[in-house]
Amino acid sequence: MSDELVLEMRGIRKEFPGVVANDDVTFDVRRGEVHALLGENGAGKSTLMNILYGLYRPDAGEILLNGKRVVFSSASDAIDAGIGMVHQHFMLIPVMTVAENVVLGTEPVKDGVLLDEAAAEKRVADMAKTFNFAVEPGALVEDIGVGQQQRVEIMKALYRNADLLILDEPTAVLTPQEASDLFEILRTLRREGISIVFISHKLKEVLEIADRITVLRRGKTIETVPREGATEETLARAMVGREVLLRVEKKPAEVGDVLLEVEDLWASDDRGVQKVRGMSFQVRAGEIVGIAGVDGNGQTELIDALTGLRHADRGVVRVGGRELHHASPRHVLDAGLGHIPEDRQRFGLVLEFSLAENVALHDYSTPPDSKWGWLFPKRLVERARGLIQEFDVRGGGPLTPAGALSGGNQQKLVAAREISRDPKALIAAQPTRGLDVGAIEYLHRRLVSERDEGRAILLVSLELDEIFSLSDRILVIYEGQIVGEHTGDVSEEQIGFEMVGVQKKVPA
């Protein structure tokens, strides 16, 4: 590593409607270093890198590449300037070979017109050898593992002569073994003089691989430190910060019977990878149990398995004492489980339906909404009108299409529907994601008051603040398992450590 700067980003600012994603961010990369960009979800890491890669235009600030000021208007500008990006979602064509994917768009040619498959494979093989990639050039991408696919993405960038590589949370999709292989590759690349930006929120791996670490929090640069001297504790403090929490007024919980019970639950994602691995917990009447964790540790599969949208591999779910086995969503609903889904637009609402029709999404087939298959739209409208008033849904009446509402009001509508069904237990997944402060406050207060009504509430959230301000009990999920359970006072740092797989206790 030399001290020569290949990249400088100065005073970068990027605003999206309602949020400042980057606020006066400064960031630089030296030749041949691995520079980690560390921060929580939503800290502005991806925005910053998308600006660098030409996908967003900054509102203010400048980018210098090898000392020269550059303006990228598209990703191909960035590629031409020698920047390569490995997206979290790979840009690979599964039915083509590794070599074909690598050379696509810049293919070697023989006899004037023919694709030189052999030359392509040889160049890929050479590259694989140089950087120790262990990838078969002739293999189909769909047949190789995720770790190898990631290497193909890296090779795509190297093939186009990238000397600055951006890796967006590269380990999020990897097993620990694959991750350590990746680190080996990154060290090789560094030796060859390639600079790497490593985006992550995992402290351990950042300390393992990075030369320098820049911490972002809420769109601002907090600090840039060399790895030497940095510890998980100092980084976590910088990452989480000491912000004033938005505490919600609430009485101590008066818990009652167990209303939601999970015993040794296992569930897999769509690709058959086990994401929930033997979880057991209980939620009692009158308490809010928060599940804290980093994205992708099995939260989605847990919720899907609980609500019948996904069949569990094994395990037992009981709602109000009733055992549900391979239940359909309809059975789960009937057993008394309410569900505020994490993606309200995809699952929670039919955006083309009116508010009244959306309110009836679970109950359209039973009286009073309908009788013998005949729907009573007026009753739907009346019920919707009542709920709109009670839950303060603004921006439309019962006949307004749900898609016309703002996100906060859409979420209120979903909450109104789920709560009005008088469920025994309620799952709230990311209930305030992307909402404005007013809507967040309203939903938080509402969840607490539903708790006081004697419902069992399971809150799944990526926002630690939210988990802290609402939960009576906190479970920490890590790689599909509950790795920590806390009642009473626990420090946010402790939870933060457990979320990223650190077991060490810190003084509160």
Partner 1 sequence: MTTWGGRLENPVSERLRDPATTGYVALALGAFAAFLAIPPIEARSPTWPVAVGIVAIALGIWTATRGRRRLGWGAVVAGLLGIGLGVLATHSGTGNLETVFDATLIDQTFGLATPLVFGAIAGMFAERSGVINIGLEGMMLMGAFFGVYGADKGGTWVVGLLIGMASGGLLALVYAFFAIHLRADQIVGGTAVNFLAVGITGYFFQLVYNGQVSGNVSTVPNLHIAGLGHFLEGSIGNLSLLTWASFALVILAYVVLFKTPIGLRIRACGEHPRAADTVGINVYAIRYGCVVLSGLLVAIGGVYLSLGPQGNGTFIFDMTSGKGFIALAAMIFGNWRPAGAFGAAVLFGFSSALALKLQVYNPQASTLFQILPYALTLVAVAGVIGRTVAPAADGKPYAKQ
Partner 2 sequence: MSDPEKNLIQPPEQAASTGTLAARLSLSQRAGGVVVPVLTVVLAFLIGGLVVLATGHNPLLAYRDIFNGAGLNWIFHPTTDTQGSVAAYNLTQTLLQSTTLIFTGLAVAFAFRCGMFNIGGEGQYIVGLVVANWIGVSFAGMSTLPHVLLAIVGATLAGAAWAGIAGVLKATTGAHEVISTIMLNWIAIYTAVWLFGDGGPLQGSQPTVPVSKDVASSAQLPVIWGTKGFQGLDIGFLLAIGALVVFWAVINRTTLGYEVRAVGFNPDAAAYGGINVKKNLIRAMAISGAFAGMGGAVDMLGYLYHYGSLDVQNSAAGGVGFIGIAVALLGRNTAVGVFLGSVLFGGLIYGTTQGLSSNVIQPELASNVTLIIQGLVVLFIGADILILYVWNSRKRLRRQPPTPPAPAKAAA
Residues of this chain that interact with partner 1 (CB under 8 A) are: 55, 75-76, 79, 91-96, 100, 104-107, 109, 113-115, 117, 156, 160
Give the Cα separation of 254 and 243 in Å (integer).
29
The 10 Å Cβ neighbour count of residue 424 is 20
Give one DSSP letter per residue of 223-253, joined into a string: EEEESTT--HHHHHHHHH--PPP-PPP-PPP
Give the Cα separation of 499 and 475 in Å (integer).
10
Q: Which does 242 bind (CB under 5 to 8 A by kind): partner 2, partner 1, none?
A: none
Q: Which does 266 bind (CB under 5 to 8 A by kind): partner 1, partner 2, none?
A: none
Closer to partner 2 by CB, 84 or 286: give it.
84
Touching partner 2, residues 61-100 (CB under 8 A) = 87-92, 94
Q: Minimum Å distance from CB 508 to partner 1?
A: 47
Quote the tokens at residue 27: 């960031």
Per DSSP bridges, beta strands 195-200 and 34-38 are parallel
Q: Minimum Å distance from CB 403 to partner 1?
A: 18
Listed ranges 64-72, 127-135, 252-260, 329-337: which one lies at the site for partner 2 (CB under 8 A): 329-337
Q: Minimum Å distance from CB 80 to partner 1?
A: 9
CA angle, corner 318, sides to 313 and 321, nearest 5? 155
Binding mask 353-392 for partner 2 (x = CB under 8 A): x---x--xxx-xx----x--xxx-x---------------
End-to-end CA distance of the chain: 39
E strand intervals along 350-397: 370-371, 374-375
Q: Which does 149 bind (CB under 5 to 8 A by kind): partner 2, partner 1, none?
A: partner 2
Per DSSP bridges, beta strands 83-86 and 164-168 are parallel
Q: Minimum Å distance from CB 454 to partner 2?
A: 24
Quote the tokens at residue 22: 């980057």
Only one residue has tokens 């009116």, namely 354
Quote the tokens at residue 155: 């090779």
When asked if residue 501 is in the footprint of partner 2 (CB under 8 A), the reply is no
Decide if 355 contacts 397 (C-beta within 8 A): yes
Q: Minimum Å distance from CB 114 to partner 1?
A: 5
Report CA-CA distances (Å) from 131 to 144, 153, 437.
18, 13, 49
Candidates 100, 232, 342, 472; binder of partner 2 (CB under 8 A) is 342
Decide if 258 contacts 303 (C-beta within 8 A): no
Candidates 341, 398, 480, 484; binder of partner 2 (CB under 8 A) is 341
CA angle, corner 299, sides to 297 and 304, nearest 5? 135
Touching partner 2, residues 390-409 (CB under 8 A) = 401
Candidates 68, 242, 271, 504; binder of partner 2 (CB under 8 A) is 271
Q: Which residues form the interface with partner 2 (CB under 8 A)? A: 16-17, 50, 55-56, 87-92, 94, 141-142, 146, 149, 169, 172-173, 269-271, 273, 275, 295-296, 299-301, 307, 309, 328-330, 333, 339, 341-343, 346-353, 357, 360-362, 364-365, 370, 373-375, 377, 401, 429-430, 460, 462
